[in-house]
Amino acid sequence: MSDNIDTRRRWMARAALGLGVLLAHSRTATAQAPSPAPAAGKKKTVGVVLYPDFEVLDVFGPVEMWANTPDLKVIFVAQTAGPVRSAQGVSVVADHDFASAPPLDIVMTPGGVGTFAQLRNETFLQYLRDADRGAEFTTSVCTGSALLARAGLLKGRRATSNKKFFALAEQQGGGVTWVRHARWVEDGKYITSSGVSAGTDMALGVVARLHGKEAARTLARLLEYQWSEDPNNDPFAIG
């Protein structure tokens, strides 16, 4: 078993090195300039904001992509540090509570049945507002966009959400243009995705914003994932 783990680690290290070379090349050769690269040796911090009864795939689809992007570091944040139980019964350890979390370059809020409780949790909503202020991107998966809307972060923006719970997002305050026919929606720094698996496509969209589309495609190939790279092509669209 340990030999298999070591082999996978070596393979992923080589894959990350190859992707790192491509990302470095993309910063100098891409015609459309991506976001500025962090200083040498410094990684952008991605903070996934957990809460009880979050959806597992909402979290770990994007995490698989971002954690394998060499200049991104993924951390988990929750109101209370420690184990946070998902809707599927699997617990994930939050590295930081809200008070101890470092500044985040990328914020991600997942969806899940726990969304309903957090819509009434002002402490959670205030943390989203605080984290958003310094973030380069604020993102969500599934009903996570309802939480962003409830926090007032999507006012005047276009956004999308889980199609089965679209009305929930629409009920969270006015001023948001909700897009029903979208896999994910980008509006400035705010990037929201449709339900569950769409978050993985959105995460690659963030990689494309940072490093160019070819880098995102390469990452998807390395992880043997078929990226639905058109944000407007959603097979689960409604209305």
Tens digit of each residue's pLDDT (9 = 90 or more) over 96-128: 999 999 999 999 999 999 999 999 999 999 999
Nearest of 51, 173, 202, 199 to residue 116 by alpha carbon: 51
pTM for the predicted model, two decimal places: 0.86
Is pLDDT at 74 greater than 80 in this prediction?
yes
Which pLDDT does position 31 carry in this prediction? 39
- Cβ atoms of residues 223 and 171 within 8 Å: no
Tens digits of residue pLDDT in 34-47: 555 555 568 999 99
CA dist 110 and 92 (Å) reads 13
Q: Provide mean pLDDT across the span 187-210.
A: 97
**CA 46 and chain centroid, separation:** 8
Share of the chain above pLDDT 70, in %: 82
Which residues are known catalytic residues? 142
Match 């980008």 to its residue by tokens.
186
Assign 30 a pLDDT band (cuts: 50, 70, 90).
very low
Q: What is the mean pLDDT of residues 70-99?
A: 98
Cβ contact 13:74 at 8 Å = no
Q: Which two tokens stand for residue 18?
A: 């190859």
CATH topology of domain 2-30+41-222: Rossmann fold (3.40.50)
Length of the chain as a residue count: 239
- For 178-192, the pLDDT digits (tens) are 999 999 999 999 999
User: Confidence class of residue 13 from pLDDT cuts 50, 70 and 90?
Assistant: low
**Is the per-residue pLDDT at 1 higher than 60?**
no
Terminal-residue alpha carbon distance, the chain: 49
> What's the mean per-residue pLDDT of the chain?
89
